[in-house]
Each structure stands twice: as C-alpha cells, then as structure tokens.
Amino acid sequence: GAARSRPEPPRAMRPFRIGVLGGGAMGSLWAARLAPVAASLSPRPLPSTAPSAAAAGGGQDANDVWIYTRWQEHARRIQEQRGVWYQPLEGSRSLRSCQASDSVDEILNNGGPMDIGFVFVKGKEATYTSGVAAHELLRPGGILVTLQNGMGHEEILRFAAGASMKLAIGTTTVGATVEPGIVTLRGEGETVIARGKYSKDRRSGTLDAVSVGKIMRNAGFSTNIVPPEEKLCMLWKKLIVNASINPITALFGIQNGAIHADEPHGVRSLAEGVATEAALVAQKIGLKGFSVEDSIQSVMRVSLNTRFNTSSMLTDVRNGKKTEIETITGWVCSEADRLEIDVPLNKKLLYHIRNIENSPGSERTVVAVEDLLNFQEIPLKGRK
C-alpha cells in the first residue's frame, strides 16, 4: 500500500504511534494502558491544558494510539471523549487519550503510520481483515503483534499482511470487560511473546519482540519474552487454559472464578478433565513441559486470578455472536483426531457450543453439568 512507501522522518523527530486492531475488551484495555507509554515515547512540546489531556494524565495526544474497530457505538464514544475510560482493579477510573475508527485512511491521515500494531480480533475473516489493514497502517520497521486466543492466526496474518511484515506471536491471560467508551480490568495475568526468526535489524527505529516487551512492561503488563523454538509450547499452554475455561463459562453462564470455586458443583472437575485431555494431546505432539498436573494448575490459577471476568466466549453467546470455539476447542479436537487420541469432554463442549451458535436466542439453554460429566472418567492421578 501507499502508506508503506511514504518517506519517513528520523525516529527522534516523529511521534510514536500504536495501533490496536480490534475494539473489544482486550483491544480497548491495551489501548488504555499503552496510551501514557506512547505519549512518553513521542517528542512534543509542553502538554496541552485541554481538559481531555489533563484528565488522561497530561501531555497525551489522542492520536498516539488508534483503535481500528467496526464497533460503531464504541468508536463514537471514544471520538467524543477523545479517549477511553479505564477502570483499574482498585482506585478511580481515568480517561486515557486515544482515538478509534473503522477507516484505515482516517487513521493514516490523522495519526500517521503506526510503529506497533496489536491484533485482538476473533475469527478467521476478522483476522484476515486486520492483516490487510496492518499492511497499510504499519510503517517500515514496525512490528505486528498478535495476542489472540486460539490457533491458526499466524498463517492468516502472514498471508494478509505480506511476507515482509515483522510478526510476533504471543498470548495473554489478562482479563477485562468493555462497554461503549469504558474498559474495566477484571484480572491481571501474564503476557508471553515469542521472539521472531526475522533477521536482526540494527537500523534506528526498528522494533522487535524484546522492545515490544519493554513497552508493555512500562504499561503495567507482566510480560515474558521466550525464544522462537518455544512458540508452539507457549501457544498450547494458553490453548489448554482457554479450552478449559471459556466453553464451560459460556455453557453455564458463569464468571471465570466459578470454575476454581466449583460453583455449580462439578465444573471444576469438568475443567480438570478438559485440561487433562488437551495436555495429553500436547504430549503426543511432542511438546515439552506438559504434565497434566501443571496444566490443571495453570487453569485454576487463571480462573482464580480472573475470577471476576466474563469470558469472551460467554459474552459472544449472550450477544448471539459466533464464538472462538473452532480455533480453541476445535483445534484440540482436530489434533486429537489426527493423533488418534480420545478427547470426549472437549468434543462434548465443542458440540454444545456449536449447537448454541446455530440456535436462535430463545432456544439457547444451559447444559447440565451431569450431562457433560457422563463420560468414562479420565484418571487424573498417576498421569505425568
């Protein structure tokens, strides 16, 4: 695209821009928490005395961070406020300066090319659209970072954004909820990003996973950078957590913490069974560090740390939208079939969520825990 061929001023003379592709809970959270960091990286004169700048902490330009989203009401509120209200776990909320649009041209004309793009969309079509947008939005030397749930996004993004796009793959267990113009943190977690295999580029202004990690830590995200060879392991660890929490919360209409608390009774052992099946698939693939016990502990830790969070899958079910079940549980089941491993609990969850997606809202029913547990029991003890 034309945006990628524009002449660039020296890095020290131009503002630092961050693009977030996807305006849901996670995209809005990243925009809100990264806004002050982007401001600190951008050279500019003394801060404006405008109310919006002062409310956001002073010195921020709403054009530092842009959210690319099709959610019109959310985008309109952000435009009117020149920012998104951010509610932390404790303390009062604050307005974080950013802007939102569904137009790549509007973002480029007002914000200019982006240094970093974060992808938080759901589904193959939205991932492809985000990749195409990122091709136009990111400057040469910039980096695209996907922190999406599930598997299969990397290939789509590489195809849509172009082979020359620097792409970093990561996961996060942070929890948040969103309503138009407001994002609320529901639980801290860990973000992991795998370094890419792209060649080292020492030119001024280039970015890699390590520099992205530093920026995210400055924004308050606990971030760990792992070598490229640990990428698949990283993705499967998060996949097991998502497969063990999201469908169960969606089916029973419960928050994440209900699994750890075992409310209703049986959901905890159900999640343990799902994690056990998925961990055995990961082991069969040949991935290291996938003991059943460690996988179950990870699921319960995330359930507890994000106990007040409403999973994205439950939100989608309530809103009558398509969920991420195919890239999460669907992926576990397809890999299990390929390796000839029985995963009855995962398949039952997949069946029920698909059923809900294909049912009108009035026909959507809560599933009995006993129905999901009515399988040959999976021995949890003695597994390594």
Amino acid identity, position 129: T
234, 154 contact by CB (below 8 A): no
Catalytic residue list:
238
Q: Any idea which residue has 């959270």 for tokens? A: 29
Cα(205)–Cα(243) distance, rounded to whole angstroms? 38
- 370, burial (CB in 10 Å: exposed 0-12, middle 13-18, buried 19+): exposed
In angstroms, what CA-CA distances link 62 with 48, 51, 133, 302? 11, 12, 20, 33
